[in-house]
Amino acid sequence: MRISSKISLGFGIIIILMLGNISFGVFNNTKTQEAIDEVKETSFLLESIYNLERVVIELQLSVLIFSKTGNASSIRQVTKIDQKIEVLLDLINKNSQGVNKKELIDKVNSFRKNYLGGFKRYIDDRKNKDKLYENCRSLAKEIKSDLSSLIKGDINFIKASNTFSNTENLMVNFIEEPDSSIVRSFSRELIAVKEKISELKTGDLAQKIDQYEQKFSDLVQSIRGYLFLSNVVLAGQVSEFKYTTKSFRENLEIRENELLMSLSNDSQVTSNVEISLAILLVALGLFSSWKIGHSISAPLTKMTDTFSNLSRGQVVNVIPGLEYKDEIGEMAKAAQVFKEKNQETEELLKRSQQAELIMKTQTEELGNVNSELEQFAYVASHDLQEPLRMVASYVQLLGQEYKDELDEDAMEYIDFASEGAKRMQLLISDLLNLSRVGRIDSEVEKVNSSEVFEAVCKDFGERLKLDDIKIERGSLPVIDANPRQIHQVMQNFLGNAIKYKQKEKSLDFKVDCEEQKDYWVFSFQDNGIGIDSNHFDRVFKIFQRLHSRSEYEGSGMGLAIVKKIAEQHQGKVWIESKVDQGSTFFFLIRK
C-alpha cells in the first residue's frame, strides 16, 4: 500500500472510531433526552393531577359554602374554579404528548360536566328548599299568630305554642343540620301541638298545621333530595374523580420511577461504554500511529541515510527499500539511479585521474623533450658555430697573410668563402633565436614599449640619422610581455622597413598602438616596396624569402621569429599591403 494510503487509512480508522464514539454518544444523548423529556412530562402530569385534585377540593369547598350560605358569590366561585380546571387541562393538553393525557382530559371533562350538572340541580334544589322553607316559616308564622290569639288564658295553648315554637326551632336546626332525629322530633312535637289544640276548637288552625306538616315534609324531602345530591351524587362524583386521578397518579409515578431508574442505568452504561471506547480509541490510535509511523519512518530513515551517503559521493552497495511498492520504493529507485550515477562519476574520476597522470607524464616527457630540444638547439648552434668560426677566420687570415701571393681570382674565392661562412653564422644565430622563443627568455614583465622602441632606434644608430628616413611614433603603452622579445619584434619590423624601402623615396615609418578591450594592436607602417597579397602568409614562414639574395639580404627568419613571439604572447601578426605603396604590419598581443 502506498504511504499516503497508509496514512489515510490510519487517520481514517481513527476518524471512524471517533465518529463512532461521537454518534454513540449522540444517540445515547438523544435517548437520554427522550427519557428525560418523558420524565419531565410525567412529572408535569403528576403535578397537573395534583393541581387538579386541589382545585377539585376547592370546588367541593365552594359547593359546601354554597350549601351553607346559598350565596351567589359561591356560585361564581364555583364557575371560577371550573375555569381554573379548564386552564389546567389546557396546559396539560399543550405540554404533554402521551396517550395518557387524552384519557385524563376526557375523564376530567366528564367529571366536570357531571359535577357541574349536579351542582346546577343542587342550586335549583336549594332554591326550592328555600322557597319551601319560606313557605313553612310563613305558615309557621301564621300558625304562631293564630295560636297566640287563642292563647288567652288557656295553658294548653301556651304549651301548644311553645311546642310549636320548638318545631320552628327544629326546622331551623334541621335546615342547619339535617338529621332524621329532628324530623322525628318535629313530628312528635307537631303531634303534641295537634293534640293540644284538638280539644279546642281552632277551626282551620288544625288544617294549617297539617299544611305546615306537609310543607315541612316537603321541605325535608327537598332537603333530603339535595343532601342526597350533594352528599351522595356530587361527593360520589368527586370520589370517582379522585379515584381516577389517583390511579393516574399512581401509574405516572411508577412510570416516572421506571424512567429515572432506566435513565440512571443508561447513563452509567453509556459512561462505561464511552470510557471503554475512548480507551480503545486511544490504544488503537497509538498503535496504528506507531505502526504506520514506524512503517513509514523506518524505511525513510534508511532512505535518508542512503541518500546522505550517496550525496557524499559514496557508492552504496545495496539500496534498501527497493522491495516497497509505495513512495519509499520510488525513492529507492531514485537512489538506485543516484548510486549508478555516483558509480559513473567515480569511474569518470578514476579515468580522469588516470588521464591526468598520463598528461602529467606526457607533460614531463614533453618538458624533457623540450629541454632536450633546447639543449640540442643550443648545442647544435654552438657546435655548428665553432667550425664555422674556424672556416671564416682562417679563410680571412689566409686572405690577409698571403695577400701578396694571391691573384684577383684567389681573393674573390676567399671573399665568397668568407661570405658563405658569415651567412651560415647568421642563419645559425637566427635559428638559435627562434628556438629560444618559447623556452628560455620568456618571462613576462611590465614593458614600456615606447622605451623599447627608442632602444631599437638607438641600436640602428647612425643609419636612422640619415635624412632618407623619417620615423613617427604614436603613443606606445606599457604592456605585459617579454622585453627582449618585444625588442626583437620591433627591431625586425624597423629593419625590414629600412631594408625594403623604395629606393627613390624617403622612408616614412610610423609605429603606433591601438588599445582594445582585451589586447593591444601595434602597427608598423612603411611606404616601402609592399607585398603582394598572395604572399601574406608565406612571409611568416621560416626560410621563406620573396626576393633573391642578390636583391635583398636576409636569412628569411626574421618574420618567422616575430610570428613565434606573437604566438608566445597569445597574439598574432598580419599584414596589410599593396605593391609599390607600402605595408603595415600588425602585431597583436593580449593584455
Partner 1 sequence: MGFPKVKILLVEDNLADAKLTTKLFTRCEDIDKDCVETAGDGEQAWQMLNDSEGLRFNLIFLDLNLPKINGLELLTMIRESDKLSHLPVIILSSSIANSDMKKAFELRANAYLKKPADLMEYQALMKKIDGFWFQSCKLPRINA
Tell me how far, at minimum, the Cβ of 442 lies from partner 1, in Å: 15
Going by C-beta distance under 8 Å and a sequence separation of 6 or more, which residues neighbour residue 428?
Answer: 381, 384, 385, 388
Going by C-beta distance under 8 Å and a sequence separation of 6 or more, which residues neighbour residue 345?
Answer: 313
- Return the SS3 of 576: strand
Q: Supply 410's cell numbers.
A: 684567389
16, 390, 444, 466: which one contacts partner 1 (CB under 8 A)? 390
156, 211, 425, 584: which one contacts partner 1 (CB under 8 A)? 425
80, 188, 422, 423: which one contacts partner 1 (CB under 8 A)? 422
* CA–CA separation, 370 and 382 (whole Å): 17
Give the 3-state secondary structure percentages of the chain, helix then strand then coil, rounded to 5. Answer: 75, 10, 15
* CA–CA separation, 102 and 107 (whole Å): 8
Tell me how far, at minimum, the Cβ of 399 lies from partner 1, in Å: 9
Q: Nearer Cβ to partner 1, position 395 or 457? A: 395
Q: Supply 88's cell numbers.
A: 389546567
The answer to whether residues 163 and 193 touch, using CB atoms and an 8 Å cutoff, is: yes
* CA–CA separation, 330 and 554 (whole Å): 78
Q: Nearer Cβ to partner 1, position 197 or 414? A: 414
Tell me how far, at minimum, the Cβ of 380 lies from partner 1, in Å: 13
Tell me how far, at minimum, the Cβ of 396 lies from partner 1, in Å: 4
- Which residue in this structure is represented by grid cell 321541605? 219
* Angstrom distances, CA of residue 412 to CA of 218, 403, 405, 430: 209, 12, 14, 27
Site for partner 1 in 454-483 (CB under 8 A): none
44, 394, 413, 586: which one contacts partner 1 (CB under 8 A)? 394
DSSP string for 529-556: S---GGGTTGGGSTT--SS-TTTS---S
Q: Nearer Cβ to partner 1, position 383 or 551? A: 383
392, 437, 476, 589: which one contacts partner 1 (CB under 8 A)? 392
Q: Nearer Cβ to partner 1, position 295 or 482? A: 482
The answer to whether residues 392 and 421 touch, using CB atoms and an 8 Å cutoff, is: yes
Binding of residue 442 to partner 1 (CB under 8 A): no
Please give the helix or strand (H or E) that residue 587 lies within, else none: strand 582-590
Selection from 466, 477, 584, 473 nearest residue 520 by Cα: 477
Q: Nearer Cβ to partner 1, position 386 or 518? A: 386
Q: Nearer Cβ to partner 1, position 278 or 440? A: 440
Binding of residue 397 to partner 1 (CB under 8 A): yes
Binding of residue 557 to partner 1 (CB under 8 A): no
Binding marks (x or -) toward partner 1, 325..364, rule CB under 8 A? ----------------------------------------
351, 389, 463, 538: which one contacts partner 1 (CB under 8 A)? 389
Region of 134-142, 163-171, 260-268, 390-398 interacting with partner 1 (CB under 8 A)? 390-398
Tell me how far, at minimum, the Cβ of 398 lies from partner 1, in Å: 10
- Which residue in this structure is represented by grid cell 292563647? 151
Q: Supply 23's cell numbers.
A: 454518534
* CA–CA separation, 4 and 61 (whole Å): 82
Q: Nearer Cβ to partner 1, position 257 or 393? A: 393
Crossing angle of the two packed helices 205-227 and 155-176, in degrees rounded to 10: 20
Region of 104-112, 391-399, 405-413, 527-535 interacting with partner 1 (CB under 8 A)? 391-399
Q: Nearer Cβ to partner 1, position 317 or 400? A: 400
**Amino acid found at 164:** F
Binding of residue 421 to partner 1 (CB under 8 A): yes
76, 341, 360, 382: which one contacts partner 1 (CB under 8 A)? 382
How many CA atoms, within 13 angstroms, populate the side-chain half-sphere of residue 359? 6
Q: If you count them, how many residues does the chain have?
A: 591
Region of 105-113, 278-286, 418-426, 523-531 interacting with partner 1 (CB under 8 A)? 418-426
Tell me how far, at minimum, the Cβ of 397 lies from partner 1, in Å: 6
21, 29, 135, 385: which one contacts partner 1 (CB under 8 A)? 385
DSSP state of 406: -
Size of the site for partner 1 (CB under 8 A): 16
Tell me how far, at minimum, the Cβ of 389 lies from partner 1, in Å: 6
Binding of residue 403 to partner 1 (CB under 8 A): no
- β-pair type (478-481, 445-448): antiparallel
393, 475, 506, 570: which one contacts partner 1 (CB under 8 A)? 393
Going by C-beta distance under 8 Å and a sequence separation of 6 or more, which residues neighbour residue 507?
Answer: 468, 469, 470, 497, 498, 501, 526, 527, 528
The overall longest dimension of the chain from CA atoms, in Å, is 246
Q: Nearer Cβ to partner 1, position 65 or 432? A: 432
Tell me how far, at minimum, the Cβ of 525 lies from partner 1, in Å: 34
- Residue numbers at the binding site for partner 1 (CB under 8 A): 382, 385-386, 388-390, 392-394, 396-397, 400, 418, 421-422, 425
